[in-house]
Structure 1
Amino acid sequence: MRWLVRIGSLAAVLALWQLLTASDTRAWLRFDQLPTVVEVVERFAVQVGAAEFYHDLGASLGRIMAGFLLAAALGVALGVVIARSRWLGDLLRPPLEVVRPIPAIALVPIAILLFPTDEQGIVFITFVAAFFPILVSTRHAVRALPTIWEDAVRTMGASTPQVLVRVVLPGTLPGVFGGLSVGMGVAWICVISAEMISGQFGVGYRTWQAYTVVDYPGVIVGMITIGGLGYLTSAAVELLGRRVTRWLPREALR
């Protein structure tokens, strides 16, 4: 029944979209300016049959994975270090907190100046976008761990590395994967924006190109493609999180 409800809600949205656009409805919002569902489906069928479509998908996915994996590795490591070491926290937090409020997409001019190629600059923007949600979530997750857990294993003779491996990292996994899920979503927003500004290929670049030539069905196809890719990658992160935190109560996984 839950899947029927989900499919039904999506079908209702598509039916309403088709009705409003096909009837050229103007009710403050100008639905007569938008392509119909049928036009979008026809345009999507054309794009799926072209090799260029898959090249753009591969380019965007490659940029996302490169930036996101770097952000995950560095964000988790620094989050643990900052939360566990007062001295390193005092050293690293001030510059990180100054940079954190800056939108990643605002760093595009800096990326253009710093990196020799646009490709490296786009990966950098993606990295920055995902890095801070992961860092902050990890830091808070480490600090939220009950101190009694660490005290218990230390009384049994555990060393600091053993505490990190057996207590800190497993205990922070729910919070870490929450940050990874948020970071993936933000990374998609920024990689698409960066592709629109300075990319030469990719889903974002192709969507912007469709807009410049007044191909509105192509714009909608690009938006739907972005949404589908974002959903699939975020779902993959959440699925991995459920797999590695099977020890949690069922209520915590919903």
Structure 2
Amino acid sequence: MSAGTLGAPGVALTARPGARATSRRLTPLPVRRLAIRAGALGLGLLAWHLAASLKLDLGLVTFRNVPTPAAVARAAWALAHAPKLGAHLGASLARVLGGFLAALVAGIGLGLAIGRSRLAGDLLLPPLEVLRPIPAVAWIPLAILMFPSSEASMVFITFTGALFPILLNTVHGAEAASPRLVASARSLGAGPVAILREVVIPAALPSIVTGAAIGMGTAWFCLVTAEMISGQYGIGYFTWESYTLQNYDDIVVGMLLIGLLGMGSSVAVRGLGRLAMPWTRGGRP
């Protein structure tokens, strides 16, 4: 038996108890649960409609300037037929995807190094932990100074948002790799690269996928901050411009677009992660 054949079955065995739970999560939701979820969404829309229509003023919170769902739907319909929508979507998708891919490479690489090497952890983790709590908006002045173009600055802001969820989840997954599997692979003659490829990375992959899904959502969260720097296109820029022009209907449209795109992107990342982890589907390819 070679070290290459040891890693995948070992990881499959450790992941097999969770495979049943994953299969349950992938089964279609029953009609009753779908009805409950649709009803909860409907109640939320009804509460929004009543509060905005009645212009409720609760003291700390007021709905006097909040548009109704019908007004937001009309604004969304107008935007859907506007030629600028494609430019806004294309610019935002390019910025988020560029920042996310860069964060994926950096976060996985640094996370594996920190999770498997005490020296790398001592050298890299302290400065990264200092940078982690800094909000995206605080990076704007430095990003403008660091990068020659505003486009690169905006990609960098989304990169900072996606990096740390990926990094920390990768560190956790790498540290959780079974020491017995690592020792068994080493005793069979596997070198550091083979152990990393066949044992550590498969064991860490569920955590990496979770961090990537969270990082994708955070990248969209940072989009408005990124597009505040400059630019003429982008969903975040459209939302911020609508605020400066006091176009309240379009503000909510922009917010909903960012939320839907972020949710869809995170779902896509999880779907790609399941394809990369066949053992989570009960070992089926």
Q: Is the 8 A contact 2:155 2:226 kept in 1?
A: no
Q: Is the 8 A contact 2:49 2:68 kept in 1?
A: yes
Letter in 2 for 1:121: S
Q: Is the 8 A contact 2:132 2:164 kept in 1?
A: yes
Q: Which has the higher mean CA deviation after the structures are superposed, 76-85 or 87-96? A: 87-96
Q: Which residue of 1 aligns with 2:190?
A: 158
State whether structure 2 residue 275 is matched by structure 1 residue 243.
Answer: yes
Q: Shift of residue 249 of structure 1?
A: 7.2
Letter in 2 for 1:218: D
1:26-52 C-alpha deviation (Å, 9 max, x unpaired):
343322321111111111100000111
Q: Shift of residue 97 of structure 1?
A: 2.4
Q: Which residue of 2 aligns with 1:21?
A: 52
State the SS of the aligned residue for 1:26. Answer: coil
Q: Which residue of 2 aligns with 1:55?
A: 87
The separation in 1 between residues aligned to 2:142 and 2:259, in whole angstroms, is 27
TM-aligned CA distance change 1:54 to 1:157, over 3 Å: same
Q: Which runs of 5+ in 2 are unaligned?
A: 1-31
- Identify the structure with bigger relative contact order (alpha carbons < 8 Å, sequence gap 6+): 2
Q: Which runs of 5+ in 1 are unaligned?
A: none
The separation in 2 between residues aligned to 1:34 and 1:220, in whole angstroms, is 9
The separation in 1 between residues aligned to 2:126 and 2:52, in whole angstroms, is 51
Q: Shift of residue 242 of structure 1?
A: 2.4
TM-aligned CA distance change 1:7 to 1:119, over 3 Å: same
State the SS of the aligned residue for 2:199. Answer: helix
Q: Which residue of 2 aligns with 1:186?
A: 218
Q: Shift of residue 70 of structure 1?
A: 0.7
Q: Shift of residue 131 of structure 1?
A: 1.0
Q: Shift of residue 229 of structure 1?
A: 0.7
1:154-189 C-alpha deviation (Å, 9 max, x unpaired):
222222211111101100011111111221121111
Q: Which has the higher mean CA deviation after the structures are superposed, 158-167 or 191-200? A: 191-200
TM-score if structure 2 supplies the norm length? 0.83
State whether structure 2 residue 33 is matched by structure 1 residue 2.
Answer: yes
1:97 maps to which of 126, 129, 149 = 129
Structural RMSD (CA): 1.7
State the SS of the aligned residue for 2:228. Answer: helix
State whether structure 2 residue 174 is matched by structure 1 residue 139.
Answer: no
Taking only the aligned residue pairs, the percentage that are identical comes to: 44
TM-score if structure 1 supplies the norm length? 0.92
TM-aligned CA distance change 1:30 to 1:133, over 3 Å: same
